Structures are given as structure tokens and as C-alpha cells.
Amino acid sequence: MEKAEAKRGKWWFSGWQKRIVFFIFLALFPLLLHDPVFIHVLVISCLFGMMGIAWSLIAGYTGQFSLGHCVFFGVGAYTSTILYMKYNLSPWIGMFLGALIAVLVALTVGYICLTLRGPFFALATMAVAELFRIFAIYLKNLTGGSIGLLMHFQPNFVNFIFRDKNSYLWIILSLTVIFYYVTRSITHGRIGYYLIAIREDEDAAKMLGINTMRYKATALAISAFITAIGGTFYAQYILYISPYEIFSFDISIQLAFVSILGGMGTLTGPILGSLLITPLNEFLRATLGEYQSLYLVFYGIVMIIIVIMMPEGLLNWLKILSKKVLFKRANAPQNI
Amino acid sequence: MRRRIFRTVMELLELRNVTKHFLGLAAVNNLSMEVRHGEILGLIGPNGAGKTTVFNLITGYFSVDEGDIFFMGSSIRGKQPFHICHMGIGRTFQLGRPFHGITVLENVLIGAFNRHKGIREARRETEKILDMVGLSEKKDVLAKNLNVEERKKIELAKALATKPQLLLLDEVMAGLNEAEIMGALGLLGKLQQEGMTLLIIEHVMSAIMTLCHRIVVLHHGEMISEGPPRKISADERVISAYLGGGYHVAPG
């Protein structure tokens, strides 16, 4: 194995060089694409990948299975959109205000729900999501009720509205990279270990001097912040939001899906998971969309197959696979 | 290890008339006891006597119904477990509760963060403790793959990493063979010499009798006897409640 590693080091770049090459590639990548459908799928994949990272932080690392993340998504989307439509405030600012409000919501919800454990926390978050949806429907003056809010198409950087999809791709790529590294810096330090300890055994964690409530709330707040940013991005990308789409269980489930399929408790996992299943979802919807919800049946079937094939997530599956390949290569007879 | 030179209070920990009920059943009933600086105090009694409950009360897992608990002269009643850990009480769990999915080193590292915020210092402390308990070779093993003895060791290492002044040990020797018990005794003795105060629950009588300076015997949540090992082993009530006939400490 070590030999194989050393050999790889010679013809491949070192860590930071690799990273720079990767960033340059990411920055130039949108310029190479022209097919709007392909770009759309990438944008959505990236968006869910980013929010999957956020979900992974609270569920994968901390072990708190939130099934109400659409709340934060919606708070982000509605805050920036309402501020933009009513007060003409740039969604760029609205995005951060929305994220901050989402943090406040997370801390409030967390104060109540994070005392609950396991499935009870999941149930409570689902209930909170339902509550927000009902509010969004009934507060007609603010949210447009069930009709939703439709933004006028006025392409402008300040308005966070663009004519070409490439710009959106570029923005979401940047956001994803930023939040990937932000989350990574958290999970690789003291707090990251605390979160894992809470996931593994909360009582034992307390006995090691960890204020478990505080760190669970911190993780939820950070997760909410990122998810809310995703919400604003979504609103600006689609230019239409409605309670049924935004505060929907589907969104919460999708975040869980990409993280679980990608690999729980990892940060690259959700991105990989999203790159795998979001295109699948979009493809099935496009091809089978005319038969109403038939695509969901296929989506479900594929999902089950993936879970059975890779119970530990895509990332771990790839790791095992690459190990096998490397191992084979290292042990291959030399004289053939 | 820091030694307190000027001791204003003799007792490091004091329980004053502590009572805890579970659905009308008194698990701990009007218990008053103290742990003195630098001593090794044994807590023994039959199953269900309330020993672990006492630990849970001291460390803040259970709320105290009546009475009060003092640590270094100040009341810790109603404080959260993590706060009590910050104050300097470490604790191991009876069955061992390692964080399964991460390595031995990471397990202990999490404890070390209690006193060292920087990852580098915490890591250094961790290595030291792993060395002390004899887990250095296993440091990169996932905690779920440890055997019984190693589980006991990692439990102890985690508690030690928080740098407690008072360490509560809940049956750290249960399930160990004789050689392993000798090793554990040596380690605990060393900790005491370094200035740590130990409160231990144990069923391995030979260990408790050789190690402890004093012993408190619980029965039905009440203290039925207290004193040095020799006095305890001769106490009629202790013999009938717990030790059974025919147990004697070897003279000398």
C-alpha cells in the first residue's frame, strides 16, 4: 500500500496543488457548458449538495435527525424574496438577513426540540415544518398565501437575477466551496469532536465536560444558516416560491437522502450523493413526467437499490472500491 | 498534578442528608458521607444498594430530592454534568461507554479538551494518558473493537483526560482477570500518590480491601457502616448484608 501511495505522489500533484487545480477547473468549468438542461441539473445538484453538507453537520456529525430542514430553507427563501419585492432590498443582503433569521429560528426550535432524543427530535422537527407551512399559507399579506410569490424577471447583478444559467452555476459552486471549507474547519477541530461525541453517546459526552445542548444548538444554527442561503439561492433561481414547494417534506427528505446516500458524517459525501441522485430525479421527472407521479415510483426503486448496494454510503463504497483496485495493482504479478 | 497546599476544607466532597426517590422507592435515603482530600474511598454494598445512584447524584445526572452535595466547599446541587466535570469531578461508567465509531485516541482526546482547548496540547495530554493506562498501541483502533480490559482502560483514560481532582470509578475491575486487576491496582495507587482523590465502587473485595483507606457500605440506600477496611470486614451488619460469612482480611 505504501509503495502505491508513494508512486501516486510522484505522478500526481501534492495536496494544495491539487486543490488549486481543482478550483481553477471549477471556476472555468461553467464557461465550457452550453446545454441549459445540463447546467440546470448541475445547479440543482450543487444546491442540494451544499444543503446536504449542512444537513450532514447536524445529522451525520451530531446525530440529530432533523426532518424539518425545509423550515430554514423556506425562511431563507421567503425573507429575501419578501424584502426584495416589498422593500426592493437586494437579495444579496436579504440572503444574509434570511440566514440570520434562520439561525434565530434554529436556536428557538433547538431550545425546545433538542432536548428530545432520537426519533422524537425528528418528529418534532417535522411538526415545526408543518407549522411554518401553515403560517406561510395563512399570512397572505406577507407571503402571498398559497399562490406564492412571483418575482419579475429583471436580470441584474444587484437583483440576483441572471439571464444565463452559467452565472447561477458559478455562484452556487462558489457558495458550495465556501461552505464546504467553513464546515470542514468546524468538523476538523474541537467542536467537530464534540459533535461526534454527542452523536455517539450524549450522556458520556456530558461527563467529559461537554455542554451538549450548546453544541447541538450551535450545529443546528450553522446548518440552518447554510440551508437558508440555499433557500434564497433557490428563490432567485426559480423566481417563484410557494408554501407547498418550499416548506415541503420533499425538500427535507431530499437533504437527508443526498447525505445518507453519499455517506453519513462526511462532507464530500453529500455532494457526491447529490451529484448521483439529483440528476436521476430530474431525468426521471423529465422522461416520465407525463405519467403524473410514475417517476416517483422509479425514483423510489432506484433509491432502494442504491441503499442495498451501498449501505455505508457512496463515499465509503468508492473508498472500498479504490482500495480494492489499488491493492490489486500493488499485488499484480510484475512479469506479465 | 496540582496539589492543594492550603486546605481550608478537609472534605473534598460532602454529601449532606441526600435523598433520592424513584416512584416512591428511596434509592438513596438520608445519606451523609464525605470524601477527604487525597484518600481512596470505597463504596460497597449489595446490588441495588444505590451505589451507582450516588454517582449519578454527585455527577448531576439525577437531581437530588433532598439534601445537598458540596464539592470543595460549594454546593453542586442542581448543576449540569458538564459543569461538574469542569469543576473537577471525573467519572467512569459501569459498563463502559466509549464512543464506538471513533478511534481510541479520539475518544480520549475529547476528554482532554476539557482542560486544553488547543488540539495540539490536548493531543499531547492524550498520548501521555494513553501511555499511562497502557493503550498506546491501540490508539488507532476503533473503540468498538476493544476487548473488556481495554474497554475499562479507555473508560478510565477518558475520565483521566478531563484532569479531575476527584475521580469516581464505577466497577473498573469487574470482568478483569487477576493479573489485570493487579495492573489496575497499581495504576490507581499511582494516581492517588499523584494527588488525585478516588471514590470507587467495586465488587472485587480483595481489591477494595487492599486499595481503600476507608470504606462506606450502603444497603437499601442507607449507610450501614463506615470506616477503615479492617473495621468493615469485622462489622456484623456488613457481613450479613453483603460480605456473607467467612470473609476476613488477612492480618498485616
Q: Residue A336's pLDDT is what?
A: 42
DSSP tag of A161: B
DSSP tag of A292: T
In sequence order, which residues have a C-beta less than 8 Å from that of residue B136 and are 6 or more positions away? B127, B130
In angstroms, the CA B157 to CA B106 distance is 11
Q: Residue A180's pLDDT is what?
A: 94
B93: closest chain A residue by CA: A204
Identify the three-state secondary structure at position B166. Answer: strand
* Residue to substitute from A207, A211, A264, A312, interface B, most B β-carbons within 10 A: A207
B113 and A189 in contact by Cβ < 8 A?
Answer: no
In angstroms, the CA B7 to CA A9 distance is 60
* Residue to substitute from B61, B62, B99, interface A, most A β-carbons within 10 A: B99
Rounded mean pLDDT, B201-213: 89
**Angle between helical axes of A249-262 and A294-309 (0-180°, round to 10):** 30
Q: Residue A19's pLDDT is what?
A: 80
Which of A44-53, A69-78, B19-28 bottoms out in mean pLDDT, i.e. has the lowest? B19-28
Q: Which bin fits A265, alpha (ψ -120 to 50), beta or left (φ > 0)?
A: left
Altogether, the residues listed in chain A come to a count of 336
B84: closest chain A residue by CA: A209
Segment holding A90, helix H or strand E: none
A208 and B158 in contact by Cβ < 8 A?
Answer: yes
* A10-65 pLDDT per residue, tens: 555 677 787 888 888 888 878 888 888 889 999 999 999 999 999 999 999 999 99
Domains and CATH numbers, chain B: 8-88+164-252 (3.40.50.300), 100-161 (no CATH)
Cα B178 to the center of its chain, rounded Å:
20
B119 and A189 in contact by Cβ < 8 A?
Answer: yes
Q: Which pLDDT band, with edges at 50, 70 and 90, does B58 fall under?
A: very high
Q: What is the least distance, in Å, from the CA of A179 to any CA of chain B? A: 22
Which of A117-126, A221-230, B5-14, B132-141 bottoms out in mean pLDDT, i.e. has the lowest? B5-14
* B72-125 pLDDT per residue, tens: 989 999 899 999 999 999 999 988 889 999 999 999 999 999 999 889 999 999
Q: What is the least distance, in Å, from the CA of B159 to any CA of chain A? A: 7
B144: closest chain A residue by CA: A200
**CA distances, B206 to each of B36, B202, B232 (Å):** 22, 10, 13
Q: What is the 3-state secondary structure (H, E, C) of B101-159?
A: CCEHHHHHHHHHCCCCCCHHHHHHHHHHHHHHHCCHHHCCCEHHHCCHHHHHHHHHHHH
Using the predicted structure, report yes or no on whether residue A105 has a pLDDT greater than 50.
Answer: yes
B109: closest chain A residue by CA: A193
Facing residues of B90 across strands? B167
Rounded mean pLDDT, A83-107: 96
In angstroms, the CA B213 to CA B228 distance is 6
From A194, A208, A265, residue closest to B162, measured CB to CB: A208
Segment holding B228, helix H or strand E: none
Is the Cβ–Cβ distance between A313 and A266 less than 8 Å? yes
In angstroms, the CA B54 to CA B35 distance is 13
From B91, B101, B122, residue closest to A207, measured CB to CB: B91
A208 and B85 in contact by Cβ < 8 A?
Answer: yes
B156: closest chain A residue by CA: A208
Higher pLDDT, A68 or A291: A68
From B82, B99, B102, residue closest to A206, measured CB to CB: B82
Q: Which pLDDT band, with edges at 50, 70 and 90, does B2 fall under?
A: very low
- The one-letter amino acid code at A31 reads L
Q: Residue A16's pLDDT is what?
A: 79
Strands B11-22 and B66-71: antiparallel
**Angle between helical axes of A70-87 and A91-113 (0-180°, round to 10):** 140
Judged on CB neighbours under 10 Å (0-12, 13-18, 19+), B136 is: middle
* A177-197 pLDDT per residue, tens: 999 999 999 999 999 999 999
* A203-257 pLDDT per residue, tens: 999 999 999 999 999 999 999 999 999 999 999 999 999 999 999 998 999 999 8
- The one-letter amino acid code at B131 reads D
In angstroms, the CA A102 to CA A71 distance is 8
A209 and B100 in contact by Cβ < 8 A?
Answer: no
* Residue to substitute from B52, B82, B155, interface A, most A β-carbons within 10 A: B82
From A201, A209, A265, residue closest to B82, measured CB to CB: A209
B88: closest chain A residue by CA: A209
Using the predicted structure, report yes or no on whether residue A9 has a pLDDT greater than 60.
Answer: no
Mean pLDDT (chain A) is 88
Q: Among A77, A307, A103, which Cα is nearest to A224's?
A: A103
Binding-site residues on chain B for chain A (CB distance < 8 A)? 59, 61, 80-83, 85-86, 90-91, 93, 97-102, 106, 109-111, 113-114, 117, 119, 122, 158-159, 161-162
From B83, B102, B119, residue closest to A190, measured CB to CB: B119
In angstroms, the CA B155 to CA B142 distance is 14
Q: What is the least distance, in Å, from the CA of B100 to any CA of chain A? A: 7
Q: Among A131, A113, A116, A124, which Cα is nearest to A74's?
A: A131
Q: Which pLDDT band, with edges at 50, 70 and 90, does B252 fall under?
A: very low
**CA distances, A188 to each of A134, A265, B9, B133 (Å):** 39, 12, 42, 26
The secondary structure of B66-83 as a DSSP string is EEEEEETTEE-TT--HHH
B113: closest chain A residue by CA: A190
Q: Residue B174's pLDDT is what?
A: 84
A197 and B86 in contact by Cβ < 8 A?
Answer: no
